[in-house]
Amino acid sequence: MHDETNIDPFDRRITYLRVSVTDRCNLRCCYCVSADGLNPLPHSEILRYEEIIEIVRAATDLGIRKLRITGGEPLIRRDILPFIKLLAATPGIEEIGVTTNGILLKDMAGPLSDAGIKRINISLDTLNPLKFRKITLRDSFYKVMDGIAAATEAFSLVKLNMVVIRGVNDNEIPQFVELAMHHPYVVRFIECMPIGKTGFWDIRKVLTFDEIKSRIELLGSLHQVPSMADDGPAKRYRLKHAKGEIGIISPLSHNFCADCNRIRLTANGRLRPCLFSDHEIDIKGPVRSGCTHKGLTDLIQKAIAQKPRRHYAGLGRESHLCSMSMIGG
């Protein structure tokens, strides 16, 4: 059924659905949460697990093969492990990943692997406990480090995501590179993105792809790793004698729209064709009104058909209506 139904208007095949399961989080990162704090939606506004499963089953009919569970912080949602097991058992789903801040991973890394998670990404923006508190407003640095250690035992591949912010943590690029030198991590440096009404983002805080790469090259020659079909947006590199790998994700200075293969399902039940656009399609209303399986596939296909050629973030058309905690990045 999915021979052409998951091809968007620009000939991109959409095979990847990112699912935000909650808008709640146990951190308050400055670039994600607005200055007045996190204002979570009522639980009734958040998609129920059985509704997400129904949507995912429809998505597989259109060729969706890969899922990523995000939040907010997905691991704080009750019964997340049984839910992941159900997702992993869904016919057509070949791979499930999770993006987490790592706070709960010490006890959950093994169970997540047992439940069917194949890939794990951990957000870590600093290796300094005091700066961690400044960025997140929480004293959870050592819990995250324990979580990373547990994930290293439970998974064959661990990715660490650092949002690089000029004047905040850009001076730590060498320390993060050292992590990739001495550990089998994929350390990914991400340009700071303008999402939501946080009041934090400023173009002057953005360290571009070229700037990040230049700073890393001061530490040694970078050798580009050939891209694989499921690599996602990161440009991959290796340093000589490194146990791990470096990735640079540059949505602003070198956008990767031409190779985008994903759509998003927000925690409150909206299909989002592009991370940086406020255009969304409601699917919660239809699924709660008894929409047929065919009706759900039609809505997902509509979202695929409405993917823009490219985003314009950083060019005066920022996404303001939906917070990163709702979308899940």
Residues 6+ apart with CB under 8 A from 213: 222, 248
Q: Which pTM was predicted?
A: 0.93
pLDDT-derived band at 230 (thresholds 50, 70, 90) equals: low
pLDDT-derived band at 125 (thresholds 50, 70, 90) equals: very high
Distance set, CA 68 to CA 117, 177, 264 (Å): 9, 25, 9
Count Cβ atoms within 10 A of the Cβ of residue 34 and give its class: 0-12 exposed, 13-18 middle, 19 or more buried.
middle
Given a cut of 90, whether residue 142 has pLDDT beyond it is yes
- At residue 249, what are phi and psi to the nearest 5 degrees? -115, 120
Give 192-203 pLDDT, tens digit per residue.
Answer: 877 666 667 688
- At residue 325, what are phi and psi to the nearest 5 degrees? -65, -20
- Choice between 169 and 233, residue whose per-residue pLDDT is larger: 169
Residue of 162, 149, 142, 263 lying closest to 207 (CA atoms)? 162
What tokens does 328 get? 């899940």
Considering the chain, what percentage of its residues have pLDDT values greater than 90? 76
Q: What is the pLDDT of residue 315?
A: 44
Residue of 162, 158, 100 lying closest to 125 (CA atoms)? 162
- Answer yes or no: are the C-beta atoms of 296 and 58 closer than 8 Å: yes
Q: What is the pLDDT of residue 120?
A: 98
What tokens does 140 get? 């959870």
Q: What is the pLDDT of residue 278?
A: 81
The Cα–Cα gap between 253 and 95 comes to: 30
Give me the chain's average pLDDT, please.
91
| Beta pairing, strands 185-191 & 222-224 | unpaired
The Cα–Cα gap between 299 and 121 comes to: 29
Given a cut of 70, whether residue 329 has pLDDT beyond it is no
196 — alpha (psi -120 to 50), left (phi > 0) or beta?
Answer: left
Highest mean pLDDT among 87-96, 302-311, 317-326: 87-96
Largest CA distance in the chain: 58
The residue with tokens 């946080």 is 198
The Cα–Cα gap between 187 and 54 comes to: 34
- Average pLDDT of the residues in 81-105: 98
Spatial strand order of the sheet with 66-70 comes to 222-224, 235-239, 245-249, 185-191, 158-164, 119-123, 95-100, 66-70, 16-20, 262-265, 270-272, 281-282
Give 38-73 pLDDT, tens digit per residue.
Answer: 788 999 999 999 999 999 999 999 999 999 999 999
Structural domains of the chain sorted by starting position, each given as residue range(s) with its CATH number in brackets: 16-327 (3.20.20.70)
137 — alpha (psi -120 to 50), left (phi > 0) or beta?
Answer: left
